Each structure stands twice: as structure tokens, then as C-alpha cells.
Amino acid sequence: MKHFKLILILLMCISGFTIKSFAQIVLPEVKVVAVNYKYLNSVDNDAVALPVKRLEREVAAFDLKNSDYYEDEYDTYFISFYIPEGEILAAYDKDGKLIRTAEKYKNVKLPTAVAKTVAEKYPGWEIAKDVYLVSYYETRGVSKMYKLILENGKQRMRIKTNENGDII
């Protein structure tokens, strides 16, 4: 009886290994190519709010040639991307390469450098509203600006800063 149990256990182990070996499927190699890596490198910043990063990645990953908008006869395509916090108007060439963007986000989390500058230069004032603007051009690079409305009681003030908190 002991030998029967031992043989049964060995058969179960062997069959378990063979079933697992047959279950392996070899997938073809996938090559990922970032067509719009220049855009992502230009706009990427750790201080940028998460919704902004997500939308910018969506713009960079957009596959124009496989979209419903693509036709061979046009040289430039303008595609709009929206989220509740903002929007991007992106221009692509006929090959799907990102040429330029105009981006606008409202009331997103400000970078620490911007918030710190406002707190130091304008004590007693609080940020009531903010707008984050990004302009990307393939040939010129990127420009980033924050437009802020500050309030102190009934007083209001508008200021502009860059991403480093420098007042413009």
C-alpha cells in the first residue's frame, strides 16, 4: 500500500510538470518605438501634476495613421485631447510626428517652486485660481507658464511665473 501511494504521488508530480510545460506559449518579440519622444522629453517634469502627465502621454502615444482621421491627402492634422482639468490641441504631420501643441490646464497642483515663490514674495496672499500654459514647437522647444490670480481679502492680483517660480 505504501508503494502504491508513493507511485501515485510520483505520477501526479510528473503529470503536473508536463502539463505546465505544455501550457507555455512563446509570444513574438514586440518592439516599442516612441515616435514623439522629443515632445515627452521637452514637457516631462516631475513637478507637473499627474493629470497633465497623463494627457501629454496620450498625445505622444496617439497613432494618427491608424485613426479614423487619417487620409493620405493632408499634410497636417489637428487633433484635440480633453480631460476635466485641461486640453491639448496637437498638430501632427502626415507621418504621425508631433509638430506642435497648445496646452491649457486649469487649477492643477502647482510645482513646489511656484508655490514657494508666491508664499515668499506675497505673504498674506493666497492663490485663488491658476492656469498652466504649455506651448511646444518641434523646432523651438517648449515654453511653460503659470498664470495665477492671488487674493488678499477683497484685493486681487494677477501674476505670471515660469515652472521654476521666477516671476515673469
Contact 88, 59 (CB under 8 A): yes
51 or 102: which leads in pLDDT? 102
C-alpha cell at 103: 496646452
Domain boundaries, the chain: 37-161
**pLDDT score recorded for residue 135:** 95
User: Would the CA dihedral through 112, 102, 75, 59 be positive or negative?
Assistant: positive
- The Cα 13–Cα 35 span in angstroms is 49
User: Using the 8-state DSSP alphabet, how is residue 67 labeled?
Assistant: S
- The Cα 122–Cα 142 span in angstroms is 28
pLDDT exceeds cutoff 60 at 92: yes
Return the closest-CA partner of residue 83 out of 53, 60, 51.
51
Return the closest-CA partner of residue 47 out of 165, 151, 129.
165
Contact 69, 79 (CB under 8 A): yes
Specify the 3-state DSSP secondary structure of 1.
Answer: coil
User: Using the 8-state DSSP alphabet, how is residue 167 labeled?
Assistant: B
pLDDT in tens, 119-159: 999 999 999 999 999 999 999 989 999 999 999 999 999 99
Q: Give the H or E element holding residue 133.
A: strand 126-137
- Mean pLDDT, to the nearest integer, of 96-114? 93
pLDDT in tens, 40-75: 888 877 777 888 888 998 998 888 888 888 887 888
pLDDT exceeds cutoff 60 at 18: no
